[in-house]
Amino acid sequence: LGMRATLTRGSMSLSQKDGGLPPESVVQTEKTILADSERLIRQYHQQDKDGLLEVALAPCSPFSVTPDIMIASAELAETYQVRLHTHLAETEDENTFCLQRFGQRPLDYLDAVGWLHDRTWLAHGIHFNEEEIQRLGAAQTGICHCPSSNMVLASGICRINELKAAGAPVGLGVDGSASNDHSNLMQEVRQALLIQRLRYEADEFTHTDALTLATKGSAQVLGRNDIGEIAVGKRADLALFKLDEPRFSGAHDPLAALVLCGASQADAVMIGGHWKVKNKQWLGGNITELMLRHSRASKTLFSV
């Protein structure tokens, strides 16, 4: 596709029989996880000719990995200077689990295994108290807000303004297909605006704030200062949308229309100064053939 991506090597090592969430069939040993994590970093991290691909390490959640994997992953990430990612403070159940299993709240646990720093970003970050928000800001640990997933699962609402005020980078994500079936980041911008309006007054969280989460905020979460905004010296990563459909007609503010009227598909996409999409068509090949390959791969996966 020619896309810029930070791909994570996920891991699960704490099965149901050991008190975790995942079934035994999907967990791996610490040795397997760490060996494959190192292989992927060495083979793919910033090794492509255009510098588009990064690799990060992503033990899934406190429910699904052991502290040993968290510690070892942090050490491996430090050795290779790659980023760390996990899901944290998503539900109240997680708080209860961490208190019962580790004797700590999720953020204290994260700190204890060496993850509370500026190379870590966390999905969700809903159930933090005031003191924890300040610690996240001081550590510059990033938060990825996933509004649609949080609504589907009734998880709660991320405290974006408080996190940003404390100094924590905050970006926007769609979570995974298990809890967000459309995975459309432009629609996620609108969802972020709507759910945050349930927490804040209209002038405290605007369409511009929502767009910033998806652009500059997300670049900050990934530790990138070369993308996320249109400015001299930045990489030319652009998504362009037309507003010539009836649903956008009469809008006085094109950026507000982009968010509020439900833009969903970019008309043109440029990555690193190279056009990848024009007139809503992918320029890199046959999209129908790509979808057929995807469908075959999916069927193979489900048959395993």
Contacts of 266 (CB under 8 A, 6+ apart): 186, 239, 240, 241, 277, 280
Q: Walk along the chain (304 residues) and give the pLDDT tens digit of each residue.
A: 889 999 999 999 999 999 999 999 999 999 999 999 999 999 999 998 888 999 999 999 999 999 999 999 999 999 999 999 999 999 999 999 999 999 999 999 999 999 999 999 999 999 999 999 999 999 999 999 999 999 999 999 999 999 999 999 999 999 988 888 889 999 999 999 999 999 999 999 999 999 999 999 999 999 999 999 999 999 999 999 999 999 999 999 999 999 999 999 999 999 999 999 999 999 999 999 999 999 999 999 887 6
Main-chain dihedrals φ then ψ at residue 208, nearest 5 degrees: -65, -40
Residue carrying structure tokens 């974006």: 160
pLDDT at 182: 86
The answer to whether the beta carbons of residues 72 and 115 sit under 8 Å apart is no
Q: For position 105, what pLDDT does the model report?
A: 97
pLDDT score of 197: 97
CA 64/CA 202 separation, integer angstroms: 38
**Of the candidates 93, 28, 24, which has an alpha carbon nearest to the alpha carbon of residue 63?**
93
Contact 141, 118 (CB under 8 A): yes
Per-residue confidence (pLDDT) for residue 303, from 0 to 100: 76
Q: Name the residue among 221, 1, 228 with its Cα closest to residue 120.
A: 221
pLDDT recorded at residue 89 = 97
Per-residue pLDDT at 301: 85
Predicted confidence at residue 304, as pLDDT, reads 65
Q: What is the pLDDT of residue 299?
A: 93
Query: Residue 154 and residue 195: Cα distance in Å, rounded?
Result: 12
Task: Check: CB of residue 54 under 8 Å from CB of residue 1.
Answer: no
The structural domains of the chain, ordered by start, are 5-232 (3.20.20.140), 236-304 (2.30.40.10)
Reported as half-sphere exposure (CB side, CA atoms, 13 A), residue 124 has a value of 26
Q: Which two tokens stand for residue 128?
A: 């933090």
Q: What is the rounded (10 degree) CA torsion for 45, 274, 210, 251?
A: -170
The backbone torsions φ and ψ at residue 143, rounded to the nearest 5 degrees and listed phi first, read: -125, 130
